[in-house]
Amino acid sequence: MSKRKMTSKRTNNANWRLAALLPLGAALNGMAMAADQPTKAQTAEKKEITLPAVKVKATRDNKSGNYKASTSTVGTKTDTPLIETPQSISVITNDQMEAQNVSTMAEALRYTPGVQSETFGFEPRTTFIKIRGFDATETGLYRDGLKLSNPGFAAGYSLEPYGAERVEVPRGPASVLYGQAQPWRLG
Amino acid sequence: MSKRPTFDPFREVKFEAGTYDRFQGELDVGGALDERKTLAYRVTGLVRDSETQVDFIKDNRIYIAGADLETQRRYDADLFKSLPKG
């Protein structure tokens, strides 16, 4: 988008220079008018203009190259830099999970502030989690933005950390994005 | 967030062994499917056979998250060559 904008801006500048040769009325109407109704003066001045190349470069943070993530999708459901997201978010990257050698999702959350994982101790069947003291086991688990509905007693999700690029924990109000749940959730 | 397709080639095979007769094999491959890097894939799989600290409770698993495809648009100069000059 910005590439197009810049291009058209420069084009307008060039047109202004051409328009300056024309009577005031035509100049005020801008470039479109001038191009549609070429006058003798303009035809004489018309020549091809080569604009300098504009290089636009952007990167997306989908590789977790280290322990520190710079963007997250859980705060806004878009790929937004964490510094621009007004919410407390923790990101456990793939590298961190590998360094901790986690074998369950609850183990991956062991060192996350505000998260109490493995609330029942050793448990390979269910990802038991509390976030800021509220239970997140039944309503707080999401995978790729979609809720993992838990039907309740004696059922649960034992998520495989090897399948996770990262684990993200947004803390604070987020029901406008994620619907009814306990106050805090896990992305 | 699940592992997403990568446009750079990526391959990983792991085998782990641990206490409680734990054996685990992992496979994770990804990469672009065409030279222009417009289409990428990712296949992640895991097989685990393990006992646990509790007798008669196993921690076995077969996991496959596969054949994820992702497209990426390439904004080449060609696109802008077609714009009107002026």
pLDDT tens digits for range B28-83: 999 888 888 888 889 999 999 999 999 998 999 999 987 667 776 655 545 555 55
- From first to last of its 187 residues, what are the pLDDT tens digits of chain A? 444 444 444 444 444 454 444 444 444 454 444 455 555 555 667 788 889 998 887 666 555 458 888 888 888 888 888 888 899 999 999 889 999 999 899 999 999 999 998 888 888 888 888 888 888 888 888 888 888 877 666 677 888 999 998 899 988 877 788 887 766 655 5
Which has the higher per-residue pLDDT, A181 or B11?
B11
Asked if residue A50 belongs to a domain, the reply is no
Burial of A104 (0-12, 13-18, 19+ CB in 10 A): buried
Among B1, B85, B86, the residue with its CB nearest the CB of A164 is B1
Claim to verify: residue A116 and residue A27 sit in the same structural domain: no
A16 part of a folded domain:
yes
Are residue A109 and residue A31 in the same domain, yes or no?
no
Cβ <8 Å between A163 and B63 = yes
Does residue A107 sit within a domain? yes
Nearest CA in chain A to B64: A163
Domain CATH code at residue A155:
2.170.130.10
| Any domain includes A61 | no
Same domain, A123 and A174: yes
The 10 Å Cβ neighbour count of residue A4 is 13
Tell me what pLDDT residue A27 has.
Answer: 45
Q: Is residue A138 part of a domain?
A: yes
Nearest-by-CA chain B residue for A77:
B1
Residues of chain B found within 8 Å of residue A163, distances taken between Cβ atoms: 2-3, 44, 46, 63, 65
Please indicate, yes or no, whether residues A21 and A113 belong to a single structural domain of this protein. Answer: no
pLDDT at A56: 80
Which of B53, B54, B85 is the closest to A48 by Cβ?
B85
Do A86 and A174 fall into the same domain?
A: yes
Asked if A40 and A78 sit in the same domain, the reply is: no
- For an interface test with B, the pick among A4, A71, A126, A162 (most B C-beta atoms closer than 10 Å) comes out as A162
Is A51 within a domain? no
Residue A58 in any domain: the answer is no
Whether A17 is in a domain gets the answer yes
**Cβ atoms within 10 A of the Cβ of A33, count?**
14
Chain A CA closest to residue B62: A160
Q: Is 90 exceeded by the pLDDT of residue B16?
A: yes
Q: Which domain holds residue A37?
A: 2-45
A128 and A172 both lie in a single domain: yes
Domain count, chain A: 2
Nearest residue to A88 (alpha-carbon basis) of A164, A174, A167, A166: A174
* Higher pLDDT pick, B24 / A22: B24
